[in-house]
Amino acid sequence: MCGLAGVARLDGQDLGPEFDALLNDFADLLHHRGPDERELLRSGPVGLAFTRLSLVDPQDGTQPLVSDDGNLVLIANGEVYNHKELAAGLPSDVRLKTGSDCEVLLYLYRQHGLDFLRDVRGMFAIVLWDRARGQLVLARDRFGIKPLYYHRTDERIVLSSEIKGLFADPATPRRFAWDKALALPALAAAPRFSAEQMCTWFEGVESVPAASVLRVDLRDGRTTEHRYWELPTEADESTSAEGFIERYGDLLEASIRDCATADSELGLFLSGGIDSSIVLALARTQVEDIHTFTVLSGGTHANGDAEHASWLSRLWGVHNHQVLFEPDLTPTPEEWRRLVWLTESPMVGPEVYYKHELHRFARQVRPELRGMLLGAASDEFNGGYSDGMSDDWPSFLAGLTGMNRTTHFDRLPGLRHWWGEDESFLSDDALDSLGRTRSADVYASYVLSEYRKIQQYNVWHEDRTAAGSGVEARVPFLDHRIVELTSSIPEHLRPRLLWDKRILRDAVGSRLPQRIAERPKGPFFYGSGTHHAYGMLVRLMNGNGQELVERALAAPGADAYLDAGVIRRRLSDFADGTSDSPSVELLTRIINMGLLAEMVTSAPQLESMNAGTVRSELRVQSDPVADTQQLFEPRRSHDLDGVPVSAKGLLLLSHDSGDWYLANDGQIEFVLEPDSPIVRVLQRIDGTATLATVLSEARVELTAVEEELDTLVDQRLILFVA
């Protein structure tokens, strides 16, 4: 991982020495991305700043890299995994001067022009100066894993790996893009397909598109865009289900082998799920004495992540650091502001916070660690969310069809007039045509939406949370060959291969314990432990006299877009810090927007902001769930004279099967067995009888339902009044 920045004139003029200070400022702002080395170059119309994190060829990989004839100059961030293979295919007269994996890009460009990335495997952002043609070439990998942003005027263009770097240039606007941000469905967690265009959150800031090459003429500013890769749309009808499974396993093994190659120490985030576990299974044979890192929080305690990660690491004899996030842990307002500024996105929540803290811990205990292997971005392309969204493949497709229809209505709201009594009078084909998508394959549309989503959220925050600690995040599941394979699965094989990640489970099942290979997908912090994470957010927003809220409401533009009264009133609804409502996270995103709008006006340096104390490690002797039971799920001393009261909106529903369902605000929270003692207790809670009376009438001992009562109280489905 490295930091890239630069400035170039677009009017045929040279940069003067007055730009040297700007180049130095670029390097200062991106120091965290490349703490090992920095280089500056100013020549003709171009100035470049480069900060380096050394993973490959630490002794001989300095940039900028220059071609043998001096005509091409390159700075690059990322890794070219197949650089040796590509170098072997270069003309015989080419002699590479360094061991850098990126040097080969110079000669691929000289040989193939704008198609030079066609056969490159890896993750990268590239700034290449073609002196002879007077052109600047900007490019990114197929999934946008490595970032690159720019702002341009008629006279010049400025570039940076992170948006904050652009603000070193006085010509870059310093305004949060309220209108664009609020119009993005993903920010409001709306069930829509992802927007086609990336939102950079700031006015005047643009992102180099993923899988694309931009060519900028430095004489007149003319710009052309060349897309070198697209998601496949053709189905492979010649391959059987077994053939797809075998090919998937081979490609994943090759990708993990690529990502686990480095000349410096690599670690791994281990959740105990199938994704990170298979990365560990294959990487541990290649990475000597690998250290793994796991979040131990109320959520991962409840959903089993911490337990499974600990169990697997003991089974295989690898180091596992269980990083403790205590139940009452709350970041300070300053720590949260720094995290939001580091990530440059309002989509900062518990997941981003936990990963950021995990990286900080990893670098503290392993100072030589430079790269982190992740199991991220597996679910998006192999059906990982199908089981959680529906009961079977047909209902999953029906749900996607509904999301697709709603997305069309957003684009052409007039079509809603043809919707009557829960059904549309218009065919889905008509909606596709009028919505100008013309896609008859709703699953393919969904995959394209996921492709866009990972750029806006997943790889964005994975890059920043790692970069903040001088670490490079590596994502084996985002090898384009794997995604091409799953995208080419024909419709008749999708239920077999893409329901509940079957292709992955079958491909790697022999390499993992069955307990891990068949473990159901569990969200990172959502589910039974959500209240722990949401409680943290509520305490954060209420902290220090609601400092973050007041700063956000006072930010430029906030008064025009936000209703301060509603925000304060809504926060007061969560004042006890135990709500499970998704509104907690949405309110946090609103506050994050205001914080970005405030901070961009002064563009603070990360080094001047307090990151707080690095988390500590729990020394687990046997089972992290048992060892932390009292910490995360302490037994309550229930007052038998207290009166249990059902939460507003809580309903106990029966089913013909005999099962009972506990629903809250229309959403089923628990399925209960017909003869479960807690059912008899819930049937007798009327808001007037004491707990002793309820238990007596139900003929149930407190010990028989104590655990269930604890859970219901923790999730505020049952309240007690004196």
Q: How buried is residue 721: exposed, middle or buried, by Cβ count under 10 Å (0-12/13-18/19+)? A: exposed
Instruction: Kindly provide the residue ranges of all beta strands, DSSP E only, lying in 132-274, ordered along the sequence.
Output: 135-140, 149-152, 156-160, 206-207, 212-217, 223-227, 265-269
Residue at which a domain ends, from 550, 585, 603: 603
What's the CA gap between 182 and 176, in Å, rounded? 11
The pLDDT score that the predictor gives to residue 650 is 86
Q: Give the count of domains, the chain.
A: 4
Output 373 or 577, whichever has higher pLDDT.
373
Mean pLDDT on 225-236: 95
Going from the C-alpha of 498 to that of each of 208, 494, 532, the distances in angstroms are 31, 5, 32
The pLDDT score that the predictor gives to residue 656 is 73
What's the CA gap between 6 and 60, in Å, rounded? 22
Least confident span in 1-15, 61-75, 528-542: 528-542
Mean pLDDT on 148-177: 97
On the question of pLDDT at 625 being above 80, the answer is: no
Selection from 56, 37, 40, 45 nearest residue 5 by Cα:
40
What's the CA gap between 661 and 711, in Å, rounded? 15
Residue at which a domain ends, from 200, 227, 254: 227
The pLDDT score that the predictor gives to residue 221 is 95
What's the CA gap between 569 and 251, in Å, rounded? 52
The answer on 486 and 345 residing in a single domain is: yes
Which is the catalytic residue, given 2, 102, 199, 259?
2
The answer on 99 and 30 residing in a single domain is: yes
How large a percentage of the chain has pLDDT more than 90? 71
The answer on 139 and 164 residing in a single domain is: yes
Least confident span in 48-52, 213-217, 425-429: 425-429
Number of residues that make up the chain: 722
Residue 39's CB is within 10 A of a number of other CB atoms, namely 16
Mean pLDDT on 218-234: 95
Work out whether strand 156-160 and strand 149-152 pair parallel, antiparallel, or are unpaired.
antiparallel
What's the CA gap between 267 and 133, in Å, rounded? 43
What's the CA gap between 213 and 389, in Å, rounded? 36
On the question of pLDDT at 35 being above 90, the answer is: no
The pLDDT score that the predictor gives to residue 719 is 85
Q: How buried is residue 227: exposed, middle or buried, by Cβ count under 10 Å (0-12/13-18/19+)? A: exposed
Output 359 or 410, whichever has higher pLDDT.
359
The answer on 283 and 163 residing in a single domain is: no
On the question of pLDDT at 375 being above 60, the answer is: yes
The pLDDT score that the predictor gives to residue 612 is 94
pLDDT band, residue 61 (cuts 50/70/90): low
Going from the C-alpha of 107 to that of each of 2, 72, 82, 84, 102, the distances in angstroms are 21, 9, 14, 13, 10
Mean pLDDT on 291-297: 96
On the question of pLDDT at 444 being above 70, the answer is: yes
On the question of pLDDT at 19 being above 70, the answer is: yes
On the question of pLDDT at 426 being above 80, the answer is: no
The pLDDT score that the predictor gives to residue 431 is 67
On the question of pLDDT at 302 being above 90, the answer is: no
Mean pLDDT on 119-126: 97
Neighbouring residues of 550: CB distance < 8 A, sequence distance ≥ 6: none
Look up residue 291 and give its two tokens: 């250290």
Mean pLDDT, the chain, whole residue set: 91
On the question of pLDDT at 406 being above 70, the answer is: yes
The pLDDT score that the predictor gives to residue 296 is 94
DSSP designation for 418: G
Mean pLDDT on 263-270: 95
pLDDT band, residue 576 (cuts 50/70/90): low
The answer on 256 and 161 residing in a single domain is: no
On the question of pLDDT at 528 being above 80, the answer is: no
What is the 3 state secondary structure string of 471-500? CEEECHHHCHHHHHHHHCCCHHHHHHHHHH
The pLDDT score that the predictor gives to residue 28 is 92
The pLDDT score that the predictor gives to residue 365 is 97
pLDDT band, residue 421 (cuts 50/70/90): low
Cis-peptide into 64, omega within 30 deg: yes
The answer on 517 and 451 residing in a single domain is: yes
Q: What CATH code is carried by the domain that includes residue 382?
A: 3.40.50.620
The answer on 678 and 594 residing in a single domain is: no
Instruction: Kindly provide the residue ranges of all beta strands, DSSP E only, lying in 418-533, ordered along the sequence.
Output: 419-420, 423-424, 472-474
On the question of pLDDT at 305 being above 80, the answer is: yes
The pLDDT score that the predictor gives to residue 436 is 54
The pLDDT score that the predictor gives to residue 647 is 83
Output 212 or 651, whichever has higher pLDDT.
212
The answer on 304 and 256 residing in a single domain is: yes
Q: What CATH code is carried by the domain that includes residue 643?
A: 3.90.930.60
Spell 100-135 as b/e; 16+ CB within 10 A means b. Answer: bbbbbbbbbbbeeebebbeebbbbbbbbbbbbeebb
The answer on 504 and 355 residing in a single domain is: yes
Mean pLDDT on 76-98: 93
On the question of pLDDT at 686 being above 80, the answer is: yes
Mean pLDDT on 308-321: 95
What's the CA gap between 411 and 408, in Å, rounded? 5
Mean pLDDT on 153-165: 97
Q: How far apart are the first and last CA of the chain?
A: 58
Least confident span in 122-131, 480-489, 639-648, 680-689: 639-648
The answer on 539 and 524 residing in a single domain is: no
The pLDDT score that the predictor gives to residue 404 is 85
Look up residue 462 and give its two tokens: 């994975």
On the question of pLDDT at 575 being above 70, the answer is: no
- Domain range enclosing 562: 530-603
Local structure of 671: helix, strand or coil? strand
The pLDDT score that the predictor gives to residue 408 is 79
DSSP designation for 202: B
What's the CA gap between 16 and 27, in Å, rounded? 18
Helix axes 305-316, 274-283, angle to 10 degrees: 20
Least confident span in 70-74, 189-193, 399-403, 652-656: 652-656
The pLDDT score that the predictor gives to residue 320 is 96
The answer on 500 and 353 residing in a single domain is: yes
The answer on 184 and 151 residing in a single domain is: yes
Q: How buried is residue 222: exposed, middle or buried, by Cβ count under 10 Å (0-12/13-18/19+)? A: exposed
Q: What CATH code is carried by the domain that includes residue 131?
A: 3.60.20.10
Output 35 or 339, whichever has higher pLDDT.
339
The pLDDT score that the predictor gives to residue 710 is 80
Active site residue 199: no
The pLDDT score that the predictor gives to residue 199 is 96
The pLDDT score that the predictor gives to residue 707 is 77
Residue at which a domain ends, from 227, 245, 265: 227
How large a percentage of the chain has pLDDT more than 70? 93
Q: What is the largest CA-CA distance in the chain?
A: 91
Neighbouring residues of 699: CB distance < 8 A, sequence distance ≥ 6: 680
The pLDDT score that the predictor gives to residue 574 is 80
Mean pLDDT on 131-159: 97
